[in-house]
Amino acid sequence: MDLLLIGGLSGSGKSVALAALEDSGYYAVSNLPLAQLAGLLVHFKGARIDHVAVALDAKTGSGLTGLPAAIEAARGEGWTVRFLYLDAKTDTLVKRFSETRRRHPFSGNERTLTEAIEFERKVFADVRSLAYSFDTSDLSAAALRSWIKDFASVDSSKLTLLFQSFGYKHGIPLDADLVFDVRCLPNPHYEPALAMLTGRDSPVVAYLQNYPEVERMYEDIHDFVANWLPDYARDNRNYLTVAIGCTGGQHRSVYLAERLARAFAGRHQVLTRHRELA
């Protein structure tokens, strides 16, 4: 029985994520107070509904203070539980609320929009360590739906290794566990024939493979991840996100993320994301 809990900041894409999970075969429940979770799971167990996605409501009752105990109780009843936390940069959330003209649920009469966003961050601060985080700041709705479906499809009982490329000019991903900066490597962007291609394209791959320093960077990142991965697994992690950044997130980081994903795919569950290409 698979239970996927969704939390995170208002405006970060929780409704998009819940709809994507419903499309993937989950029974979706929106804005459920935590106090009602146990009773709902009893009902679903009796009804033989064994794939459930629940977007939690942090505004009612005692918020999410009882979430660790609720997760352990659900596991004791036979549920495999994952907690997905959606995050985004404050300026991105301000822009989204301004565009939709919606009121932030924590704004009330005494908080500005920015203050409401930061207050909500504090509400989730104590439970965020239980979750796998998604940074939706630079994602379209279509890209988020695709990534959520990938997340839901893997075996939740095993550690999943996720390689993500990004561009530093758009900021470091909020969901990264390990970050490697590869901006020191030769940049295909300055080659006119390669500028519009990506690190997935064979001319860019051939260009980067000509440089010994690219190979040395690949080996160093590979060895670091391989050496420390058993320790992360012993820490009861379900996901480890390795973010690799270059200037624009189009060539060098994409090439290395793709190559590392292939190298680890035979031994681990592996996902690959390219934030700027999404």
Task: Give the 3-state secondary structure of residue 172.
Answer: coil
Taking 80 as the threshold, does the pLDDT of residue 108 lie above it? Answer: no
| CA-based nearest residue to 182, from 201, 166, 161 | 166
User: Could you report the per-residue pLDDT of 217-242, keeping only the tens digit for each?
Assistant: 999 999 999 999 999 888 877 789 99
**Is the separation of the CB atoms in 237 and 178 below 8 Å?**
no
Q: Which residue has the higher pLDDT, 261 or 269?
A: 261
pLDDT band at 99 (very low <50, low <70, confident <90, very high): confident
208: tokens are 């980067």
Give me the residue label for tokens 């700041």. Answer: 137
- At 22 the pLDDT is 92
Token pair for 154: 């893997």
Residue 50 CA from chain centroid, whole number: 23
Of 247, 249, 248, whose CA–CA distance to 257 is shortest? Answer: 249
Burial of 275 (0-12, 13-18, 19+ CB in 10 A): buried
Q: Which residue spans of the chain are classified as CATH 3.40.50.300?
A: 2-153
Confidence of residue 87 (pLDDT cuts 50, 70, 90): very high
How many other CB atoms sit within 10 Å of the CB of residue 206?
A: 11
Instruction: Find the radius of gyration of the CA atoms of the chain.
Output: 20
For 30-41, what is the mean pLDDT? 90
Query: Among the ranges 34-43, 83-92, 157-166, 211-220, which has the highest mean pLDDT value?
Result: 211-220
The top-scoring range by mean pLDDT among 58-62, 79-83, 124-128, 155-159 is 79-83
DSSP code of residue 240: E
Euclidean distance between CA atoms 192 and 171, whole angstroms: 25
Residue 107 has pLDDT above 60, yes or no: yes
d(CA 6, CA 27): 13
What's the pLDDT at 106? Answer: 86
Question: What is the reported pTM?
Answer: 0.73
Mean confidence (pLDDT) of the chain: 91
- Kindly state the tokens that stand for 255: 């090439």
Amino acid identity of residue 61, one-letter, is G
Cα-Cα-Cα-Cα dihedral sign, residues 204, 207, 209, 214: negative
- pLDDT tops 70 at residue 62: no
Match 């932030």 to its residue by tokens.
104
Percent of the chain whose predicted confidence (pLDDT) is above 70: 98
Q: What percent of the chain has pLDDT over 90?
A: 63
Query: Angle at Cα 62 formed by Cα 51 and Cα 83, nearest 5°?
Result: 30
pLDDT-based confidence at residue 61 (cuts at 50, 70, 90): low
pLDDT of 176-203, one tens digit each? 999 999 999 999 999 999 999 999 999 9
**Sequence-distant (≥ 6) Cβ neighbours of residue 177 within 8 angstroms:** 232, 240, 241, 242, 243
d(C-alpha 40, C-alpha 31), whole Å: 13
Q: How many other C-beta atoms can be found within 10 angstroms of the C-beta atom of residue 269?
A: 17
**Most confident option among 3-12, 107-116, 210-219:** 210-219
In the numeric block, the tokens 């995050």 are attached to 87
User: Which numeric CATH code is attached to 2-153?
Assistant: 3.40.50.300
Q: Which residue, among 114, 78, 79, has the nearest Cα to 94 in the 3D structure? A: 114
